[in-house]
């Protein structure tokens, strides 16, 4: 079994939805959809496999805000993007005790999107002031939020040939 296949199967064992993608097109090798019940186990796995956290951010889409994580490997060319829909109460589990670098990323995501990271040890505003606690500058205005499928990668449409196809046979060449 190829290493990428083995990695994808390990992620599927976590009940995650895993899609291997074209790195040349997207800039990463694997896309993973997580749930709140699997994100911490996923983060521990990434840590154990010697991945490092590149960033944590969010995307405001319908039906819920998605927290987005990107990981890269220290010694092999491998990038993984993971998405986690925010729970109905506006929270997700923290991973800052697994990846220390997530601390600031999670605080910034709370500042800009209002996502609360459960059990984060110091979820104080990082960029915005204490007075701006209700300001969420990256949330979309009512009616402007797109569906997740509208902002997700789609397969390219097949190109149409330059010559129209005809059902009539052409002249025979000798």
Q: Is residue 51 part of a domain?
A: yes
Q: Is residue 169 part of a domain?
A: no
Q: Is residue 167 part of a domain?
A: no
> Domain span at residue 43?
3-146
Mean pLDDT of the chain: 81
What's the number of CA atoms in the CB half-sphere (13 Å) around residue 83?
Answer: 17
What are the tens digits of pLDDT across the range 1-54?
345 666 777 777 777 777 776 666 666 677 888 999 999 999 999 999 899 999
Q: Is residue 135 part of a domain?
A: yes
What CATH number has the domain bearing residue 54?
3.30.460.80
Q: Is residue 154 part of a domain?
A: no
Decide: pTM greater than 0.85.
no
Pick the more confident residue, 15 or 109. Answer: 109
Q: Is residue 170 part of a domain?
A: no
Q: Is residue 168 part of a domain?
A: no
- Give the pLDDT mean for 151-165: 60
Q: Does 149 have pLDDT greater than 80? A: no
The tally of domains found in the chain comes to 1
Q: Is residue 8 part of a domain?
A: yes
């Amino acid at each position: 079994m190829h290493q990428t296949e083995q990695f994808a199967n390990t992620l599927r064992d976590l009940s995650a939805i895993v899609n291997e993608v074209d790195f040349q097109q997207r800039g990463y090798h694997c896309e993973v959809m997580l749930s709140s019940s699997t994100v911490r186990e996923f983060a521990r796995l990434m840590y154990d496999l010697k991945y490092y956290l590149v960033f944590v951010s969010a995307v405001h889409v319908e039906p819920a805000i998605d927290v987005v994580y990107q990981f890269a490997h220290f010694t092999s060319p491998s990038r993984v993007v993971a998405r986690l829909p925010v729970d109905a109460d506006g929270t997700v589990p923290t991973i800052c005790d697994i990846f220390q670098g997530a601390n600031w990323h999670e605080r910034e995501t709370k500042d800009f999107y209002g996502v609360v990271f459960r059990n984060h040890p110091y979820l104080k505003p990082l960029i915005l002031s204490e007075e701006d606690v209700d300001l969420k500058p990256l949330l979309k205005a009512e009616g402007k939020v797109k569906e997740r499928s509208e902002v997700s990668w789609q397969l390219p449409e097949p190109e149409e040939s330059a010559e129209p196809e005809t059902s009539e046979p052409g002249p025979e060449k000798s």
